[in-house]
Amino acid sequence: MKNKLLRTSAIAVLLLIAVPALAQTDGNQTNQQLLERIQRLESELGALRVAVQQSTQKAATAVETADDAIETATIAQKAIKKVAKTAKSAEEWKNSNSIVHLAGYASAGYTNKQMSDGRFDQVQFAPIFHYQYKDKVLLESEIEFKLNEDGSTDVALEYLTVDLILNDYATLLVGKFLSPTGQFRQNIHPSWINKLPSAPSGFGHDGAAPTAEIGMQLRGAVPTGNSDMRLNYAIYVGNGPELELEIEDGETEIHGVVSEGFGRDIDGNKVVGGRVGFIPIPKLELGVSSAFGNTAIVGEDDRDYRIFGADIAYKYGRFDLRGEYISQKVGELASSVAPDLWKWESWYMQGAYKLPANFEGVVRYTDYSSPHASQEQEQWAIGLNYLVAPQVIAKIAYELNEGSVPSTDANRFLLQLAYGF
């Protein structure tokens, strides 16, 4: 377009120069004809001037548009780089070698015991920490904060283990772990899992069921070759428990087996034990537990220590059934201040049924036997739960207790709100 305008302009200039010469050489042309040609040339020059101005304006606009396009492209390029950087960061997080996870539970409740005033209690908070490196190592730990009657707070390390994931069928745990003998202590005792506000008699601390151990544990599952059958196991070796003395009616007796997990071994001999669980059909599990070794009173020789347990868990539709038996036995020692054989045992059977509108009914029977009449108890517990959310449960229960002393013979009314996270 620009070249065409230049050519037209050159022709016009040549014509203007040629006009006088034409006037002199061609005497036949009249002045009128020359004037007409001059006017046409002036008109064409005017039109040419307008066209040149319009072309110049369009060229300026095109340059401005090109500048805007370059600026837009620069902004887009920066945005693309930012998105690429963000995507790379997301990919790095996705492929992170380490994973940190916080879980746990908390609960609070109300207890009204026969022959005493009601009180708000059962306030506890138990955060659980998990730190995993790839699929090789897992650190897991639970810390329990519990409010006492006098307003003070107990802080306890419930467990802490470093878990080496050996393969799909075996994991090695080293540290302090919940006792794998039985089901209740290692799997059911958290308040948001337990379907009643209390533990079965004898399955609490210093009862018939061991609580924790410090040592090593190997646990996992074994393929059976049958797609419907499963087999799981837990085998451990640890420092073992210690024996606690008390004086009752002028006689020195062993009050109980303390198995909170000791960082010492006063008898010098380790305790070996574990549990094997068998799942013959889906939703039915049968378990057998055992442990043996030695234990002692501080300052005395060691004596035999034995654990035996059996458990069952079955689910059918809305119905949930579970039961467990556990016993701890301490052998005789003639040189001891408490030379007799001592045995604690307890068993319970519990049934739960899910009702409409997120309600659940629970019934549990427990029979706890002890060398001390003051510890023995037979108990019926009846409860009604409301599932506020999958991990939030409100419980109301009533215990019918029968024992030989007021503390074990008094019935109780219990309320509890528990939250697992």
pLDDT beyond 70 at 238: yes
Burial of 268 (0-12, 13-18, 19+ CB in 10 A): exposed
Q: Which two tokens stand for residue 383?
A: 């409860």
2 pLDDT band, cuts 50/70/90, is very low
3-state secondary structure 85-118: HHHHHHHHHHCCCEEEEEEEEEEEEEEEECCCCC
* DSSP per-residue string spanning 221-269: EE--S-TT-EEEEEEEEE---EEEEEEETTEEEEEEEE-S--SS-TTS-
pLDDT beyond 80 at 6: no
Q: What is the CATH number of domain 97-420?
A: 2.40.160.10
Mean pLDDT of the chain: 88
pLDDT digits (tens, 9 = 90+) for 241-282: 999 998 877 889 999 999 999 999 999 999 999 999 999 998
Question: What is the predicted pLDDT for the residue at 206?
Answer: 75
Distance CA 389, CA 384 (A): 15
Question: What is the predicted pLDDT for the residue at 107?
Answer: 97
Distance CA 364, CA 221 (A): 30
pLDDT digits (tens, 9 = 90+) for 389-418: 999 999 999 999 999 999 899 999 999 999
Distances (CA, A) of 105 to 99, 129, 179, 419: 20, 12, 19, 5
Instruction: Compute the average pLDDT of residues 157-182.
Output: 97
Question: What is the predicted pLDDT for the residue at 52?
Answer: 64
Distance CA 236, CA 220 (A): 12
Q: At what angle do helices 31-94 and 2-25 cross, to 10 degrees?
A: 170
Give the residue, 319 or 16, on which the prediction is more confident: 319
5 pLDDT band, cuts 50/70/90, is very low
Contact (CB, 8 A) for 241 and 206: no
pLDDT digits (tens, 9 = 90+) for 302-360: 999 999 999 999 999 999 999 999 999 999 999 999 999 999 999 999 999 999 999 99
95 pLDDT band, cuts 50/70/90, is low
Q: Which residues pair with 307 in a beta bridge?
A: 291, 328
Least confident of 84-93, 130-139, 358-367: 84-93
List the domain boundaries for the chain.
Answer: 2-92, 97-420
Mention every residue, 6+ apart, whose C-beta is less than 8 A from residue 333: 300, 301, 303, 339
30 pLDDT band, cuts 50/70/90, is low
